[in-house]
């Protein structure tokens, strides 16, 4: 089992990183391999809707998104961590996720996803909802904890005091490890659910 963790914060050792670190420790206890990819300080452009990924199988731009695509192919799960900026996820992370998910959506099916957010005070649940939409449009089972996956603090040292938040990270990692192992077992014994071709519904003018 392997999990790819995305740190969408520009701070490699900030609050979001501290939350992900707690998950990494627990994953290792559960026998799950991990890799953390820091993308928050990268120059990531948004999707330009060129459609080339449908032909190439990957995004046309060769940057950190292309690197993540290759790593995600080998992973059984994906954790996306983001700080809260103006009640929303980091803009760099959103550009990254738009391109990653649009170009690799078919290969994400049945990989387990989880979102983690950090804020000094507010905006956590709005950002949490925003990130979960990427998983639920891609046939990815979503792992949960005993509370929303969030930590509070202005610094990593502040997060150390958020004992409930750190506990949520540990519970989340254990639940995610269980889901990944269960899906792998089910794939071997039962096979994956049947998959239909995508049906697009468009509406005539005037309706």
pLDDT tens-place string over residues 27-74: 999 999 999 999 999 999 999 999 898 888 888 999 999 999 999 999
The tokens for 117 are 């957010």
Domain edges within the chain: 2-189
How would you class 144 by CB atoms within 10 Å of its CB: exposed for 0-12, middle for 13-18, buried for 19 or more? middle
CB atoms within 10 A of CB 147: 12
pLDDT of residue 199: 87
> How many angstroms separate the CA atoms of 53 and 62, rounded?
12
| Rama region for 110: left / alpha / beta (φ>0; ψ in -120 to 50; rest) | left
3-state helix, strand, coil in the chain (%, to 5): 45, 15, 40
pLDDT band (50, 70, 90) for residue 139: very high
Mean pLDDT rounded to a whole number for the chain: 94
pLDDT of residue 207: 55
HSE, CB side, 13 Å, CA atoms: give it for residue 103: 30
> How many angstroms separate the CA atoms of 96 and 53, rounded?
14
pLDDT band (50, 70, 90) for residue 206: low
**pLDDT at residue 136 is higher than 80:** yes
Please tell us whether the domain made up of 2-189 is placed in CATH 3.90.1200.10: no
Name the pTM for this structure: 0.94
């Amino acid at each position: 089992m392997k999990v790819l963790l995305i740190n969408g914060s520009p701070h490699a050792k900030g609050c979001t990183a501290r939350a992900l670190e707690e998950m990494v420790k627990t994953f290792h206890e559960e026998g799950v391999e991990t890799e953390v990819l820091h993308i928050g300080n990268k120059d990531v452009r948004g999707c330009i809707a060129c459609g080339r990924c449908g032909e190439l199988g990957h995004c046309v731009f060769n940057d950190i998104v292309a690197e993540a695509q290759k790593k995600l192919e080998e992973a059984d799960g994906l954790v996306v961590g983001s700080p809260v900026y103006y009640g929303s996820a980091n803009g760099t992370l959103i550009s990254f996720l738009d391109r990653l998910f649009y170009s690799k959506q078919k290969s994400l099916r049945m990989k387990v996803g989880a979102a983690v957010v950090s804020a000094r005070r507010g905006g956590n649940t709005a950002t949490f909802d925003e990130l979960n939409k990427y998983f639920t449009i891609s046939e990815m089972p979503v792992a949960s904890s005993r509370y929303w996956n969030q930590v509070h603090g202005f610094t990593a040292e502040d997060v150390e005091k958020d004992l409930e938040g750190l506990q949520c990270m540990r519970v989340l990692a254990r639940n995610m490890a269980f889901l990944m192992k269960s899906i792998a077992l089910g794939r071997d014994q039962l096979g994956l659910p049947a998959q239909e071709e995508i049906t697009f519904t468009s509406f005539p003018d005037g309706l």
